[in-house]
């Protein structure tokens, strides 16, 4: 656990509550696993009802063309110059870790640019449905292998999370929340974040990666002590 580099202050949601900011990408399997481990720790945290969790945008590969998608294994093999069989073996290890957390996980997923999905997550945030949207997107992409880069699939996923379908379509077709995504990414750079998932607790402590539940528990306890001391 480290103290993140100084960067733009992340405002607390409500005075008196401790805030946890999480940078993650939609297609990052370790973000999916790390979220589950963090939530497990939070469920056992005595002050969980006084913690606000906010997700922030991070694109692992912003160079991918928007509006296109393809089989994940082939895309990773091409990107890293590895045989598809080697990529498949790596995916199997990640799948074992995910299932060890009780998560649904399929290797038959697509790869694509996540920028528009991040814009929709900001729409969900404004609608007060961020947590539901992140969970719905994770279930669709990792659990069911649905083509979330397709506009109509994205509409279905975000509608299931409680958003208005017409509003989701409007945002998808436009450029709303572009500035919000870019602001999240600038904040990540300013904080020295170079990989995800990355957790910032009470603007004071950073946890990088899908750490074990015990470490998240320790981080929450330490951040809470800091939070109460600063109150």
Write out pLDDT tens, residues 99-119: 999 999 998 999 999 999 999
CATH no. of 18-63+114-230 = 3.40.30.10
pLDDT tens by residue, 127-174: 999 999 999 999 999 999 999 999 999 999 999 999 999 999 999 999
Phi, psi of 93 (to 5 degrees): -70, -40
| Amino acid 10: pLDDT | 43
Distance CA 180, CA 145 (A): 27
| Alpha helix ranges (H) inside the chain | 29-43, 72-80, 84-100, 115-126, 130-138, 151-160, 165-173, 178-190, 213-230
Place of tokens 């990792």: 142
Q: Is 102 left (phi over 0), alpha (psi -120 to 50) or beta?
A: left
Residue ranges of domains in the chain: 18-63+114-230
| Amino acid 3: pLDDT | 57
How far is it between the farthest Cα atoms of the chain? 54
CA distances from 124 to 91, 102, 161, 169, 222 (A): 30, 26, 8, 13, 30
pLDDT tens by residue, 67-107: 899 999 898 898 889 999 999 999 999 999 999 999 999 98
CB atoms within 10 A of CB 201: 25
Task: Give the confidence band of 7 by pLDDT, cuts at 50, 70, 90.
Answer: very low
| Amino acid 116: pLDDT | 99
Task: Give the confidence band of 122 by pLDDT, cuts at 50, 70, 90.
Answer: very high
Task: Give the confidence band of 181 by pLDDT, cuts at 50, 70, 90.
Answer: very high
| Amino acid 13: pLDDT | 47
CA distances from 99 to 32, 93, 137, 144, 216 (A): 11, 10, 17, 14, 19
């Amino acid at each position: 656990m480290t103290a993140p580099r100084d960067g733009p202050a992340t405002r607390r949601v409500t005075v008196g509550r401790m805030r946890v900011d999480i940078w993650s990408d939609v297609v990052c399997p370790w973000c999916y696993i790390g979220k589950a481990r963090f939530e497990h720790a939070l469920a056992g945290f005595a002050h969980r009802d006084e913690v606000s969790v906010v997700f922030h945008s991070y694109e692992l590969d912003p160079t991918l063309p928007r509006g296109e998608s393809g089989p994940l294994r082939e895309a990773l093999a091409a990107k890293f110059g590895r045989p598809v069989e080697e990529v498949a073996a790596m995916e199997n290890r990640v799948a074992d870790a995910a299932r060890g957390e009780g998560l649904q996980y399929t290797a038959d997923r697509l790869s694509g640019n996540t920028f528009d999905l991040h814009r929709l997550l900001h729409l969900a945030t404004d609608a007060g449905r961020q947590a539901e949207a992140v969970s719905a997107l994770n279930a669709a992409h990792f659990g069911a292998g649905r083509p979330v880069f397709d506009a109509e699939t994205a509409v279905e996923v975000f509608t299931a999370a409680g958003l208005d379908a017409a509003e989701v379509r409007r945002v998808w077709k436009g450029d709303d929340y572009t500035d919000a995504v870019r602001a999240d990414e600038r904040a990540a750079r300013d904080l020295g974040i170079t990989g995800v998932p990355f957790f910032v607790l009470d603007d004071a402590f950073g946890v990088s990666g899908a750490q074990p539940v015990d470490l998240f528990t320790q981080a929450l306890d330490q951040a809470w002590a800091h939070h109460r001391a600063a109150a």
